Amino acid sequence: FAGYISQVLKNYTDHACDGEYVSLRCPHRTTISIQSSFYGRIVPSHQMCPARYPHSYATLIKEDVACSVGTSLQKMLDECQDRRSCQFLVNSRLFGADPCPGTGKYLIVWYKCRPNEYKSKVACEDDKLRLSCKKSMVIAIYSAIFGRTQGGSLECPYQTLGMPMIECQSATALQLMIKRCHGKRSCSIYASTYEFGDPCYPGIRKHLNVIYTCDNTPFLLPVDETQPPAPNSSMEPVGVSTEMALLSNILAAYAFVT
């Protein structure tokens, strides 16, 4: 069960160059939840997805490294969201009009594995959030957000004293909820800045939103998200090289600016 929860909590990354298959899969009792997607090219081909045929220097210097397709996320949602696994061949025809003909592109997908059965609870700022499972079942945290999302919360309407409705979230909410509640039959925590810090501007009222599931396995080892999964894990995602790690940072910055 500890291995199962590690797989559920993990953020997976997969990628494929033009002409290759991208393959996403999740373990038993979970389905794919697409987090983000990118199709195009923002680094030179000698760093990622080199051309299949030799290019002259004159061709390489004309390569478009500011090329992206805005439909990649929707395409991934259409193909893979809420499925146990999915696979398809990557090429520019899948994503509509080609923004950079002649430039080899690639697809990168970030996803998680969401439990098929899960619960959601919300507590407004300074209220207590209580989680519990039935006898012989234990809590497994899937996600936790403390702050404000663009959509807000019906349970906790905005009270911003004229402040704009911007998104702000604590970076440590998930880790704290895992520490407090993971593997327990019940737990409670205050949705307060004392516990989670204040990720928002003063005057913005926040809320805590936790998604969790209950499992009937009584023995549960603690999960450390910073540790890699066991070497024999059948769910190990495609290996990410140093260049891929760098590219992920570049894409995160690119998405933020966009």
CATH 3.30.465.10 for the 1-115 domain, yes or no? no
Residue pLDDT, tens place only, 26-67:
887 788 989 899 999 998 888 888 876 555 444 555 778 889
Q: How would residue 113 be classed by pLDDT, with cut points 50, 70 and 90?
A: confident
DSSP label at residue 257: H
Closest CA to 100 of 131, 70, 68: 68
Q: How would residue 8 be classed by pLDDT, with cut points 50, 70 and 90?
A: low
pLDDT score of 155 more than 80 = no
Q: What was the pLDDT predicted at 22?
A: 93
CATH code assigned to 119-215: 2.60.120.740
Average pLDDT over residues 72-98: 91
Question: Is residue 58 classed as helix, strand or coil in its secondary structure?
Answer: helix
Q: Do 188 and 129 meet the contact criterion of CB atoms below 8 Å apart?
A: yes
pLDDT averaged over every residue in the chain: 77
Q: Give the N- to C-terminal CA distance of the chain in Å, as an integer.
A: 39
Q: What was the pLDDT predicted at 240?
A: 38
pTM equals 0.55
CB atoms within 10 A of CB 238: 13
pLDDT cut 70: percent of the chain above it: 71
Q: What was the pLDDT predicted at 53?
A: 58
Q: How far is CA 39 from the centre of its chain?
A: 17
Q: Is pLDDT larger for residue 240 or for residue 179? A: 179
96: left (phi over 0), alpha (psi -120 to 50) or beta: left
Q: What was the pLDDT predicted at 128?
A: 94
Q: Do 208 and 123 meet the contact criterion of CB atoms below 8 Å apart?
A: yes
pLDDT score of 229 more than 60 = no
Average pLDDT over residues 219-243: 38
Q: Do 144 and 205 meet the contact criterion of CB atoms below 8 Å apart?
A: no
Residue intervals of the chain classified under CATH 2.60.120.740 are 1-115, 119-215
Give the dihedral sign, CA 221/226/230/235. positive
